[in-house]
């Protein structure tokens, strides 16, 4: 499982011109599910996301988690995080999970984050979405449950 995590001042998702979800201060999480992922991968990514100390404390140091900062998550499914561009110019998505498996693990991820007491908004799975964000910093981090980076 992979995640691109961005600290944001605001983020929202539109589908067919209609805003379907939004957050203010928090983290925008693009989540990619690999075909071999299991619930343990979800647990790893969830723990990382809710525990990342990327919000500033009173000394202006990145020292607070989203829970401590009182922020929200906007989690957007993005199978293209498993796009392999090493050969040719057209990405291969062979490593991405099937839509059924990806949806199940995506929903598990959002549920687990909510269990940590974090407010979670989502995109709409398998819809063409426009995602807008006002990055804070910018702070952008890459997470991989296989610890590839």
Give catalytic residues, as residue numbers: 78-80
- Per the listing, tokens 């997470």 go with 143
Sign of CA dihedral 126, 79, 65, 25: negative
Determine which helix (DSSP H) or strand (DSSP E) holds 5, and give its type and residue range: strand 2-15
Phi, psi of 43 (to 5 degrees): -60, -45
Contacts of 3 (CB under 8 A, 6+ apart): 29, 30, 31, 32, 45, 48, 49, 81, 142, 143, 144
């Amino acid at each position: 499982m992979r995640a691109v995590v961005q600290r944001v001042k605001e983020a929202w998702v539109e589908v067919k011109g209609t805003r379907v979800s939004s957050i203010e201060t928090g983290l925008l999480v693009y989540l990619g599910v690999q075909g071999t992922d299991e619930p343990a991968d979800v647990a790893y990514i969830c723990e990382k996301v809710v525990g990342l100390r990327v919000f500033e404390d009173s000394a202006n140091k990145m020292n607070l988690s989203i829970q401590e900062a009182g922020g929200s998550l906007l989690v957007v499914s993005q199978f293209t995080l498993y796009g392999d561009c090493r050969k040719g110019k057209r990405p291969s998505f062979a490593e991405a999970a099937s839509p059924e498996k990806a949806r199940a693990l995506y929903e598990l991820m959002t549920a687990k984050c909510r269990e940590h007491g974090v407010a979670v908004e989502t995109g709409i799975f398998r819809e063409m979405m426009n995602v807008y964000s006002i990055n804070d910093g910018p702070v952008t981090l890459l997470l991989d449950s296989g610890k590839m980076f």
